Structures are given as structure tokens and as C-alpha cells.
Amino acid sequence: MAEIEQSSTQVDDEPDLTNIRELRNLLYTHHMQPNKSFGQNFLIDRATLQRIIEAAEINAGEQVLELGAGTQLC
């Protein structure tokens, strides 16, 4: 199974969207304020993300289309 990258270095200077500081900075930069009352929650737990990847049987190199208003982590 594919494993999510554990280092803070991202490919192509992409932000680490599981890092709460980077995520907050990105949202602030784009003038976005998520609202939990609208169901806007973001997956930032790497262990949970890894379990989702394993359950979906996603392999390294496969493309994934994430639908919804999230941060598209997969």
C-alpha cells in the first residue's frame, strides 16, 4: 500500500496540508475562513489519512479524485 510522506519536505513546494500551521496560513492567504457549523472540517491527522488510503487500497502512483470542499489530501 502507498504510504503518505512523513517528512516536512513536499514535492514541488506543495504545502503539507496535514500540518495545521501550513493549512491555516494557506487558508488565511486566500481569505478563507472555514466554518464548522457548515460542516467544514479538514483532515489533518496523518494516521487517519493512512488508514483511509489502506482501506481504499490506493497504491503509489495511482491518481485519486477527491470530491468535496476539502483540501484534497489524497
pLDDT tens, N- to C-terminus, the chain (74 residues): 555 554 444 456 788 888 889 988 988 998 888 877 877 778 888 899 889 889 999 888 888 887 766 665 55
Q: What is the pLDDT of residue 34?
A: 81
> Which residues, other chains included, contact 60 with Cβ-Cβ below 8 Å and sequence gap of 6+?
2, 3
Instruction: Decide: pTM greater than 0.75.
Output: no
> Is 72 among the domain residues?
no
**Number of domains composing the chain:** 1
How many of the other CB atoms lie within 10 Å of CB of 18? 20
Residue 36: domain span: 1-66
Among residues 13, 7, 26, 10, the alpha carbon closest in space to that of 70 is found at 26
d(CA 59, CA 12): 20
| Residue located via cell numbers 494557506 | 26
Among residues 21, 36, 28, the alpha carbon closest in space to that of 69 is found at 36
> Is 74 among the domain residues?
no
> Is 73 among the domain residues?
no
